[in-house]
C-alpha cells in the first residue's frame, strides 16, 4: 500500500516538525512511506487531494484535529473516500484520535499504519444557506461552543486542554448570547432560545470536554447537546460536569440522536467544525443543515 504522510510542522507547539526524519525511519522496517509538510492553513486539504490524484492508497494526518479535518475534506470527494486515512496524533487536542482509540506515542502510531486494520467510520456534512459546506469527522459547535474556539485563537501562552479551558472561562466572562433557534431534529421540531448546540460524531471536543459522551463513529447518528440559557454561575458549575460527561442529566440540557439536523436562528451564528471556524458572526450564517454520512471513510485503527 503506497502511503503518504502529511505533516503539520507547527503541531505540538512546533515540535512536530522535528519528527519528520524519525517518522521515515520508523516506517523503513515496513517498506517506507513518503512525507510532505504543510506550509499554511488549508494546505493539508490540497495535499490530500493531490495524494489521491497521485494514486496513494493511504494518506496519513500527522498533526492535530485541524490537520485531520483538512485531510478528511481532501480525501472524500463526491461523497466517497478515495483513500484510507491514517493518523499520527501529535496535536494539542487530538479529539478524533481519542474517539477511535488512537492516542499513542508517534512510533506506535507509525507501526499501526502498517499493522492495523481498516474500518469505515461515519462523518457529517455541514452546509449553510450560502451553499458552503464542509465534512466533519468529530464535532460541530454552534453558539457558545464556537465562540470558545474563536477566543482560543487569541491565546498564545498556553496550549492544549489548558488553552481551551482558559478560552472557556473568558467566554463565560465576556460572551452571553442566546439566539432564538428553530431546529428540526429529523422530523421533530423544536423552537427555543439556546446557549449552545453541540453536534458530535465523536464524544469529545476541546481536548477534554465530553460534550457528547455517548457518540461514536459507527452508528449513522449525530449526537447533539442543546443547552438552555443559564446564568454564568450555572455555566461555571456545568464546566466540570462537561469535562466528565455528567452534564447529560442536567435539567438545562437535552441530548438527542438523529440523522439530520436543520437549524434556523434569528441572528448570525458562530460555528466551528472540528475546532476550525466555519462561520464567524460577521459571515451572517443563520441557517445550517447537518447530515450524517454513514461508513464513508476507511481509517486504520489498532
Output the pTM of the full model: 0.93
The dihedral region occupied by 244, where left means phi > 0, alpha psi between -120 and 50, and beta the remainder, is: alpha
For residue 175, the model assigns a pLDDT of 79
Please write the tens of the pLDDT for every residue from 242-300: 999 999 999 999 999 999 999 999 999 999 999 999 999 999 999 999 999 999 999 99
Higher pLDDT, 209 or 167: 209
**φ, ψ for residue 181, nearest 5 deg:** -115, 135
- Interatomic CA distance for residues 129 and 296, integer angstroms: 24
Please write the tens of the pLDDT for every residue from 137-157: 999 999 988 888 888 777 777
For residue 170, the model assigns a pLDDT of 85
- Domains delineated in the chain: 3-115 (3.40.50.10330), 127-294 (2.60.200.40)
Three-state SS string across 114-164, please? HHCEEEEEEEEEEEECCCCEEEECCEEEEEHHHHHHHHHCCCCCCCHHHHH
Mean pLDDT of 29-45: 95
**11 Cβ partners below 8 Å, 6+ apart?**
62, 63, 64, 67, 90, 91, 92
**φ, ψ for residue 268, nearest 5 deg:** -60, 140
For residue 147, the model assigns a pLDDT of 87
Do residues 87 and 75 touch, judged by C-beta distance below 8 A? no
Higher pLDDT, 7 or 302: 7
Mean pLDDT of 32-40: 96
Closest Cα to residue 148, out of 235, 222, 77, 250?
235
For residue 169, the model assigns a pLDDT of 87
Q: Is the pLDDT of residue 102 over 90?
A: yes
For residue 273, the model assigns a pLDDT of 97
Amino acid at each position: 500500500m503506497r502511503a503518504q504522510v502529511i505533516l503539520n510542522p507547527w503541531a505540538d507547539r512546533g515540535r512536530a516538525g522535528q519528527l519528520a526524519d524519525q517518522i521515515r525511519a520508523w516506517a523503513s522496517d515496513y517498506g517506507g512511506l513518503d512525507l510532505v509538510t504543510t506550509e499554511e492553513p488549508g494546505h493539508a486539504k490540497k495535499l490530500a487531494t493531490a495524494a489521491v490524484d497521485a494514486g496513494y492508497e493511504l494518506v496519513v494526518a500527522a498533526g492535530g484535529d485541524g490537520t485531520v479535518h483538512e485531510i478528511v475534506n481532501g480525501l472524500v470527494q463526491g461523497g466517497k473516500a478515495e483513500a484510507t486515512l491514517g493518523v499520527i496524533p501529535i496535536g494539542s487536542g487530538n479529539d478524533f484520535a481519542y474517539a477511535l482509540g488512537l492516542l499513542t506515542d508517534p512510533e506506535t502510531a507509525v507501526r499501526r499504519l502498517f499493522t492495523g486494520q481498516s474500518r469505515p467510520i461515519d462523518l457529517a456534512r455541514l452546509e449553510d444557506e450560502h451553499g458552503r459546506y464542509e465534512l466533519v469527522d468529530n464535532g460541530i459547535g454552534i453558539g457558545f461552543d464556537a465562540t470558545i474556539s474563536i477566543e482560543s485563537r487569541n491565546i498564545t501562552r498556553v496550549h492544549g486542554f489548558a488553552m481551551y479551558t482558559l478560552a472557556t472561562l473568558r467566554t463565560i466572562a465576556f460572551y452571553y448570547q442566546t439566539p432564538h433557534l428553530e431546529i428540526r431534529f429529523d422530523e421533530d421540531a423544536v423552537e427555543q432560545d439556546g446557549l449552545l448546540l453541540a453536534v458530535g460524531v465523536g464524544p469529545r471536543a476541546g481536548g477534554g470536554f465530553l460534550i457528547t459522551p455517548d457518540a461514536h463513529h459507527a452508528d449513522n447518528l449525530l449526537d447533539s447537546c442543546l443547552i438552555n440559557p443559564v446564568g454564568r454561575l450555572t455555566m461555571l458549575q456545568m464546566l466540570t460536569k462537561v469535562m466528565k460527561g455528567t452534564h447529560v442529566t442536567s435539567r438545562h440540557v437535552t441530548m438527542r440522536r438523529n440523522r439530520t439536523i436543520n437549524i434556523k436562528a434569528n441572528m448570525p451564528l458562530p460555528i466551528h467544525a472540528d475546532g476550525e471556524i466555519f462561520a464567524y458572526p460577521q459571515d451572517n450564517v443563520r441557517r445550517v443543515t447537518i447530515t450524517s454520512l454513514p461508513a464513508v471513510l476507511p481509517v486504520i485503527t489498532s
